[in-house]
């Protein structure tokens, strides 16, 4: 399929900015990229919806504290819980950039949504971000009842690098004997840090997220890239055994360097007997869920996530 008109319009604007001398991700410092990401998404992420309650708390992790933002929907509860890890290449992003998306998901899924402010690279290299997210998910399982959440109905999810973490945390839970995770939502996830799929060839330049940027992110994330990128907690597609993992919703984009590895992970899960719903958004690019102002597919994606979670959790009785 050709690019959607909304997508082509955005890519044309980006190309014009590059022609005028705007720097690329791999040409900027970490702080310049962090500031640039927030500036770019400020105009496309939309107005935050009202939810019943928002709480910011800190929890202990190994040697530090991290923040959680807990969104409570309207209703009585106890609510199913959706633990969310934001994207940004393990280097960029924060609670604020995903705040409008997670408010929308709180209302549409009728879940208690927990946003994890994990520590970022390069200040905190692999495996600190995934260990933070595992620790946060374990904390949720042990404590969320105090916030009107149902610990027997926990899903995890994330976009891009957050989708990578959302795939890794269930692997860690399987390896470590818990916590129990009922569902995983993997939104255009990184699953193979070798970066050698056909979609890297097809979409490596000119489609928003480019191949050099992914190598820049990896260089920030890993201390020893060539070794650590092969670890299953970095590249879940390379895990020895993915059987017994929770059912999954996997969303990919036609014009995304990460397309093939996301779809390969979905197929790997299916072959291992894991129920999977896989959807490729045709004519679409990476990151569209953060762009509801300019991408109609963002609303469709939220609706798809909500439908999947409601279906999963309706089959289980709350505690």
Which candidate in 94, 192, 286, 297 is catalytic?
A: 286
Catalytic site residue 160? yes
Which candidate in 99, 256, 260, 297 is catalytic?
A: 256
Q: What are the Cα distances from residue 282, in Å, to 3, 160, 211?
A: 8, 17, 20
- CA 176: distance to chain centroid? 22
What does the alpha-carbon distance between residue 66 and residue 174 come to, in Å, rounded to a whole number?
23
Which candidate in 104, 108, 115, 160 is catalytic?
A: 160
Cβ pair 56, 102 in contact under 8 A:
no
Catalytic site residue 286? yes
Q: Which residue has the tokens 């940027």?
A: 213
Catalytic site residue 35? no
DSSP codes, 275-312: -EEEEEEEEEETTGGG-TTT-HHHHHHHHHHHHHHHHH
Alpha helices in 61-143 (DSSP H): 99-109, 128-143
The length of the chain is: 319
Tell which residue, 225, 222, 219, 97, has the closest CA to residue 159. 97
Longest dimension (CA), the chain: 58
- Cβ-proximal residues to 311 (8 Å cutoff; 6+ apart), any chain: none
Cα angle 179-54-62, degrees, rounded to a multiple of 5 = 40
Residues annotated as part of the active site:
160, 256, 286
């Amino acid at each position: 399929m050709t690019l959607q008109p909304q997508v082509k319009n955005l890519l044309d604007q980006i190309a014009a900015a590059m022609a005028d001398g705007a720097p690329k991700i791999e040409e900027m410092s970490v702080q310049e990229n962090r500031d640039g990401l927030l500036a770019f998404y400020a105009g496309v992420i939309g107005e935050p919806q009202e939810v019943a309650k928002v709480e910011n708390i800190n929890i202990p992790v190994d040697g530090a504290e991290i923040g959680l933002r807990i969104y409570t929907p309207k209703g009585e509860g106890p609510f199913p819980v959706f633990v969310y890890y934001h994207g940004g290449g393990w280097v960029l992003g924060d609670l604020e950039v995903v705040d409008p998306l997670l408010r929308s998901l709180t209302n549409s899924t009728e879940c208690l949504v927990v946003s994890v402010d994990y520590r970022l690279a390069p200040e905190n290299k692999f495996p600190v971000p995934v260990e933070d997210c595992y620790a946060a998910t374990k904390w949720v399982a042990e404590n969320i009842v105090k916030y009107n959440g149902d610990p027997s109905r926990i899903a995890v999810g994330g976009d891009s690098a957050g989708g990578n973490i959302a795939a890794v945390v269930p692997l860690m839970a399987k390896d470590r004997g818990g916590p129990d995770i009922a569902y995983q939502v993997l939104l255009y996830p990184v699953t193979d840090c070798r970066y050698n799929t056909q979609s890297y060839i097809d979409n490596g330049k000119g489609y928003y997220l480019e191949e050099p940027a992914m190598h820049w992110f990896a260089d920030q994330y890993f201390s020893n890239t060539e070794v650590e990128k092969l670890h299953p907690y970095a590249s879940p597609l390379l895990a020895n055994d993915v059987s017994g993992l929770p059912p999954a919703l996997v969303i990919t984009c036609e014009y995304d360097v990460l397309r093939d590895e996301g779809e390969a992970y979905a197929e790997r899960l299916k072959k291992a007997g894991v129920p999977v719903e896989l959807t490729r958004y045709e004519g679409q690019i990476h990151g569209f869920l953060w762009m509801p102002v300019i991408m109609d597919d963002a609303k469709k994606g939220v609706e798809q996530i909500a439908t999947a979670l409601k279906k999963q959790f309706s089959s289980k009785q709350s505690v």
